[in-house]
Structure 1
Amino acid sequence: MRKHFFWISSLILLGLGSCKSLVEKGDNQFLSGQYQYAISTFGQILQEDSTNLKANQVVAESYRLSNRIEKAAPYYKQVVEQEPDFNNFFFLGQSLKAQQNNQAAVEAFEKAKTYTSDEALLARVQREIESIKLAEGIANYWPNHVLVNFKELNTPGADYAPVTSENFFYFTSARQASGIYPATGTPYTKLFRTRAEGLRVDVGAVQTLPEFKNEEGLNQAAMAISPDGNTIIYARGNSNSSKDLPEVALFASYFRGAGFTQPIWMPVNEDENWWNSTPAFSSDGAELYFASNRPGGYGGIDLYKATKLANGDFGNAVNLGPTINTPGNELFPRPTPDGKLFFASDGHPGYGKLDLFVAEKNDSGAQVIKNLGQNFNSKDDDFGIFFTEYPKVGFISSNREGGVGDDDIYFFEDKTPKPKIVNVLLNVFAKEKKDNGTDAAISQARIVLYGSDNKQQGGDFSNTNGRVRFTIAPESDYTIIASKNGYFSKSVPFTTKGKTPDPASLIQEVTNVTLDTTIYLDQLILEKAIVLENIYYDLDKAEIRSDAEVELDKLVKLLQDNPSIRIELSSHTDARSSDAYNLDLSQRRAQSAVDYIVSKGISADRLVAKGYGESQLIIKDAQTEEEHQVNRRTEFKVIEIKE
């Protein structure tokens, strides 16, 4: 991955005379950034003397500076035995961490702390130790995403950093190489494209980038294409020529009617000696994200953002700050339309070298960083995420074990099992009770269904069987309101909670469940008395008892469901006391019932309290207690229906 574009500035290549010793030759190779050649040269010395300090130092540093720090561990071990200091123990710890030899890495970091009193260095070591501990508790960000090596596309060389645009698939590859990059000993890379639709890539039609010509003898690396397809920005550098730019920089090519222009160096680079790479556009194309080692950052490589100016260039870059950037390296930014930023880092807690992370806002609005987890990350480099269908489908790059070659392209898909569907059909029947005790269907009753949010979910008129059918959701609460002229309207609660099977227990993809409920409506007849059952008072008392409250609450509900009616609430006694006493007692009881109903929110002007005493006996010559109870009753009748 980064070994194709992530290098310390190359110094001027010194001419090597044939008479120079291996040490002089290797030194010059190292100083000129030809790390792989330096490793080979000093390797010859180590074959004769495995403890040679100079050779171990140069080989260890060459592996570290060419992003192969995991291979540097045995050489740093030799170095710290002979020259123990902070840097050597710190880099040994990093190399062991990259191997996921965490216990040994922590021991090396702890040793490094004993060789410095610098607060900044101590803080950096402690961050490395804490990141190892934190990595042990990482959860998968998307537990059901599955990563697959795109074997048909990958080659034994490097293939990485794919992006898609307008049904084309673009990527960087070492296929058709034009020379060897001396820092790593691997082939230079070029830009390629082929036809694609989502994850369906035409691997048989891969061609070098047709928009402009790849240059020979240098690395053309990660690229970005603007949302409108009219701008291509890519990283270019690592040339062997002393006449070329000394560092990796961003170049841009623009579509101008007949085709794309020749790439030009972008002003956002600012300084030709600064390393700039891994560009990405925001979803609206107004911002450019990229990685840079320019001064003033928080570590080796930081992420920056620049905003497009009126002339089409991108303005001064702004560092994304210490929450995202670390003393390590952050690369391959990928902003998404929902405000998240995906990126690769070796500075946040992870599994080894570069891991994939996301920066997002938590519930309090603070930005937090999350590792994508083990289904995306490995102990090796994992980077360059690109979504073809956010967040479910896309690509990443990785040089993890088991791949086809060097860096490989992987695709991922969300394999979350489709939830079993439960369709709930609710039959609501509108009926009335006849005097003979039988049920009769009410046709043309208006039946309306409301959700728990009080929003109407549906409504219709009942058919000749009194039925209306609704499709509703499992584990949900509803309210059903039934109404018809000549009847009291009624609202009743209905729930599907506990009435449908657990989807996890189902085998079929779709299960239909039918539920029935019946709403009984009472006829609304002016001046017709309706007895309220179970309204009892203590002897010679008018206060409402708790058992009577239950029945009065039903009347409250009826008044709420029928806001246009006005009622008289009447109380009747038996004939066992004087007329005057019974009339006064019944009036007080009727008024107590009305007062209770008003306390529940019903307007007083909708209620009339009337005590009839013993003047309207149902059984005039009552003898038994049961007959007296029939006469002692509370009734209501509708006395007015407002239009």
Structure 2
Amino acid sequence: MRQTSALLLLIGLVAMVGCRSALQSADRRFERGEYNTAINIYDDILKKGSLPESKQKIAYYRMGESYRLSNRLVEAMPYYKQAKDLGYVPDGVKYYYAMGLKQKGEYDKAVNLFNEYIREGQNFDLQRLARTEVKAIEEIKKLQEPDPFIFINNCASLNTSQAEYSPIYWNDQLVYTAARDTDIIYEGTGGGYTDLYLYNYMESPDSCAGTSIYLDSLVNTPGLHEASATFSKDGKTMIFARSSSAKRKEEYKEVNLYESVWNGDAWSDPVLIPISLPDQWDACPALSPNGETLYFASNRPGGYGGVDIYRATKDYKGEWGNVRNMGSKINSRGNEMFPYVSKDGKLYYSSDGLPGLGGLDLFVATRKDGKISVKNMGAPFNSPADDFGISFKDKKNGVFTSNRESDMAKGNDDIYFFEDRTPLLKPIRYFLAGTAVEKKDTTEVILANVSLQLVDEGGKIIDEVTSDEKGYFRFTPQLVMGPEYEIVSDKVNYLKDTTSYTTADKEVEQEDVKDRPEKIVDIVLETKVDLTKDFYEELIREGEITLNNIYYDFDKWDIRSDAAKELDKLVQFLRQHPEVKIELGSHTDDRGGDRYNQKLSQKRAESAVEYLTYRGIDASRLVPRGYGEEQPVIYNAQTEEEHQLNRRTTIALLEGEEIFDQY
């Protein structure tokens, strides 16, 4: 009997030690963000029933957290309840449980629980979010009524029981993200790592009949996530998000942005974009229609909530920089992600912090008269689940992502095609008109007899007109809303110049014209074309002139955006006078030593030359020369404005090869 008791005690001790070891393993997995593996271990331990109640409640709670942190909030709810029934309710659980109720469409219960958390919660940020959610649910009934003219369809030949999301059109095909390869398991979700796939249509892009193929082995990397591609207008540049290969705990969730170039047959080896921050999550890239602005989502410091939408712009070298937060009109205390800019200039994105039907809802932001307005897209685009990753094939057709429960759903995140069949109230025709002027200081001088060409995105001249005695001109062809046009202006003794004109944010809504009496509404869009006097004769006469606004920041030689605009006029001048060679002289203020200022001014002159060569001007026509502080405009400058005037660039005409060669 003693031996039997001893044996049972030994077995109990072994089981206890084994249970403790398994629990420690589960906790380590949880802390590392390997949530799916942690779930499996916790579940196995709890099923064995060998844990004391004091540890059971923590295990249930961590199972709930693992589901929530791997974006499965509804699945987290039963485990939060188990922890609560055992008397364990850490701060925040009521808030997340209420969010789960909201995602299930149980709005009244969600409001009650949000209000409980507002009264009892300890996390001020979550309390603020709870107040926002209560107000948002009051608006939900308006959003629940589906738009009768929007038709959606789950694509059976594209979706699977795995995740498919972030679709984007590329060369009449669809590139999307999917977790198809399960040979290597991602321990955060228990599924495969995501890669980029190409969906080839067998018929038309609206038929939803086709086959999916692996995009490219250089882009997709085993053991890493690739997701959310975006493409330049010509389809030759792709930017996407890629997870880090780092294994250290503090870098586990790191995601960065990469760029790859299409050579006609394959994609190049992706290169990290420097705007990504090594310790932050940077993902969901989206290029503007003209390719000059990159929108993306990031949790970098200084935002309004968990994840915010940012934008970066491209400099004259084609490098990304000047990262800016999109501001409080777009971002909330929650998460904003998956931006997309349509050809008509509207910003689409998803948010769980703005009033919505459930998890992530789709929103559209428009700018009119300098003001930004944000609108929830409502049903059927949005549901109590997550709805995100929208893009358009054309004005009426597109795709988006949802993990909603429906008869059409295949499982996890699915891609849905949509068609907008809203009837057209009144046809609208758009025309472009404007005034040609020359700016002199703060005044504008009207310019008559200016020759103007309207050029489309393909470089085709679609109209030619001449400004009248009041400088007015009007092109006769109708504009297409979305594309960017160019106006080429030419006049004797002026620089021939090109002005870009985008129609992206100029479209008039049908609602705004429904009460107008015309059967067909004509909208005339107005612009101004600014011409600059050709300074060739002034150079001959004066020998040297100072370019306006070619200024530099203190102790810097970078070409600022205002300087780039002025240098563009010099580009036009040099193109109009291909025989001309010039010296670009750069000057500093008198702060700093003579030798230092001499070197600084030389760098500034060389920087201006570098910009001109980037714009296609032959370097043999340009001579950079630094003058240091030798030739100030204002002697004994006192104010920053006076010092700024001394930090300038001048140009001088070099007449004859012998003068040019001495440099």
Name the aligned partner's letter for residue 406 of structure 1.
N
1:265 matched to 2:269? no
Q: Is the 1:141–1:370 Cα contact (8 Å) retained in structure 2? A: no
1:153 matched to 2:158? yes
Q: In the TM superposition, what is the alpha-carbon distance from 1:120 to its structure 2 partner?
A: 4.7
Q: In the TM superposition, what is the alpha-carbon distance from 1:211 to its structure 2 partner?
A: 7.7
**Whole-angstrom CA distance in 2 between matches of 1:350 and 1:235:** 26
Task: State the partner residue of 2:197.
Answer: 192
Q: Summarize the Cα distance change of 1:91–1:259 in structure 2 as closer, same or farther, 3 Å threshold.
A: closer
Deviations 1:255-292 (A, max 9, x none): 468753201211111x2221111111001000001111
* Structure 1 residues 562-573: aligned runs within 5 Å: none
Task: State the partner residue of 2:39.
Answer: 39
**Whole-angstrom CA distance in 2 between matches of 1:475 and 1:299:** 41
Q: Identify which range, 53-62 or 140-149, moves more after superposition.
A: 140-149
Q: Is the 1:289–1:305 Cα contact (8 Å) retained in structure 2? A: yes
Q: In the TM superposition, what is the alpha-carbon distance from 1:313 to its structure 2 partner?
A: 2.1
Q: Is the 2:260–2:269 Cα contact (8 Å) retained in structure 1? A: yes
Q: Is the 1:179–1:217 Cα contact (8 Å) retained in structure 2? A: yes
* Structure 1 residues 2-17: aligned runs within 5 Å: none
**Whole-angstrom CA distance in 2 between matches of 1:297 and 1:387:** 28
1:77 matched to 2:81? yes
Aligned equivalent of 2:71, options 57, 67, 72: 67
**Whole-angstrom CA distance in 1 between matches of 2:121 and 2:426:** 60
- Equivalenced residue count is 408
Which secondary structure state, in structure 2, belongs to the residue aligned with residue 253 of structure 1? strand
* Structure 1 residues 313-392: aligned runs within 5 Å: 313-361=319-367, 366-390=371-395, 392=396
**Whole-angstrom CA distance in 2 between matches of 1:245 and 1:126:** 33
Q: Identify which range, 212-221 or 351-360, moves more after superposition.
A: 212-221
For structure 2, list consecutive stretches of 5 or more residues without a partner in the other structure. 1-16, 428-513, 520-663
Which secondary structure state, in structure 2, belongs to the residue aligned with residue 126 of structure 1? helix
Q: In the TM superposition, what is the alpha-carbon distance from 1:336 to its structure 2 partner?
A: 2.2
**Whole-angstrom CA distance in 1 between matches of 2:296 and 2:516:** 48
Q: Identify which range, 17-26 or 186-195, moves more after superposition.
A: 17-26
Name the aligned partner's letter for residue 162 of structure 1.
P
Name the aligned partner's letter for residue 70 of structure 2.
S
Task: State the partner residue of 2:259.
Answer: 252
Which secondary structure state, in structure 2, belongs to the residue aligned with residue 146 of structure 1? strand
Q: In the TM superposition, what is the alpha-carbon distance from 1:312 to its structure 2 partner?
A: 1.7
Aligned equivalent of 1:398, options 396, 402, 407: 402
**Whole-angstrom CA distance in 2 between matches of 1:225 and 1:130:** 38
Q: Summarize the Cα distance change of 1:322–1:334 in structure 2 as closer, same or farther, 3 Å threshold.
A: same
**Whole-angstrom CA distance in 1 between matches of 2:301 and 2:219:** 32
Name the aligned partner's letter for residue 360 of structure 1.
T
Q: In the TM superposition, what is the alpha-carbon distance from 1:369 to its structure 2 partner?
A: 2.0
Q: Is the 2:92–2:121 Cα contact (8 Å) retained in structure 1? A: no
Q: Summarize the Cα distance change of 1:46–1:97 in structure 2 as closer, same or farther, 3 Å threshold.
A: farther
Q: CA RMSD in A?
A: 3.2
**Whole-angstrom CA distance in 2 between matches of 1:213 and 1:93:** 40
Determine what percentage of the aligned residue pairs are the same residue: 38
1:164 matched to 2:178? no
How does the TM-score come out when normalised to structure 2?
0.57
Q: Is the 1:254–1:260 Cα contact (8 Å) retained in structure 2? A: yes
**Whole-angstrom CA distance in 2 between matches of 1:366 and 1:260:** 40
Name the aligned partner's letter for residue 68 of structure 1.
R
Q: Identify which range, 95-104 or 350-359, moves more after superposition.
A: 95-104
* Structure 1 residues 82-121: aligned runs within 5 Å: 82-84=87-89, 86-116=91-121, 120-121=125-126
Task: State the partner residue of 2:505.
Answer: none
Q: In the TM superposition, what is the alpha-carbon distance from 1:98 to its structure 2 partner?
A: 2.0
1:229 matched to 2:224? no
Task: State the partner residue of 2:507.
Answer: none
Name the aligned partner's letter for residue 128 of structure 2.
A
Q: Is the 2:91–2:122 Cα contact (8 Å) retained in structure 1? A: no
**Whole-angstrom CA distance in 2 between matches of 1:224 and 1:365:** 27
Relative to its length, the structure with more helix (as a share) is 2
**Whole-angstrom CA distance in 1 between matches of 2:132 and 2:59:** 30
Task: State the partner residue of 2:59.
Answer: 55
Q: In the TM superposition, what is the alpha-carbon distance from 1:340 to its structure 2 partner?
A: 1.8
* Structure 1 residues 179-578: aligned runs within 5 Å: 179-196=184-201, 199-200=205-206, 204-210=210-216, 212-237=218-243, 239=245, 241=247, 246=252, 247-255=254-262, 260-269=267-276, 271-361=277-367, 366-390=371-395, 392-402=396-406, 403-416=409-422
**Whole-angstrom CA distance in 1 between matches of 2:255 and 2:175:** 20
Q: Is the 2:155–2:208 Cα contact (8 Å) retained in structure 1? A: no
**Whole-angstrom CA distance in 2 between matches of 1:223 and 1:50:** 48
Q: Summarize the Cα distance change of 1:117–1:366 in structure 2 as closer, same or farther, 3 Å threshold.
A: farther
Name the aligned partner's letter for residue 100 of structure 1.
G
**Whole-angstrom CA distance in 1 between matches of 2:426 and 2:239:** 45
Deviations 1:315-350 (A, max 9, x none): 032111122211211111011233321111111111
Task: State the partner residue of 1:561.
Answer: none
**Whole-angstrom CA distance in 2 between matches of 1:226 and 1:22:** 50
Q: Summarize the Cα distance change of 1:257–1:145 in structure 2 as closer, same or farther, 3 Å threshold.
A: closer
For structure 1, list consecutive stretches of 5 or more residues without a partner in the other structure. 1-16, 422-473, 479-494, 496-643
Q: Summarize the Cα distance change of 1:296–1:164 in structure 2 as closer, same or farther, 3 Å threshold.
A: same
Q: Summarize the Cα distance change of 1:418–1:318 in structure 2 as closer, same or farther, 3 Å threshold.
A: closer
Deviations 1:9-61 (A, max 9, x none): xxxxxxxx989622101101101111011111112333337962211220111
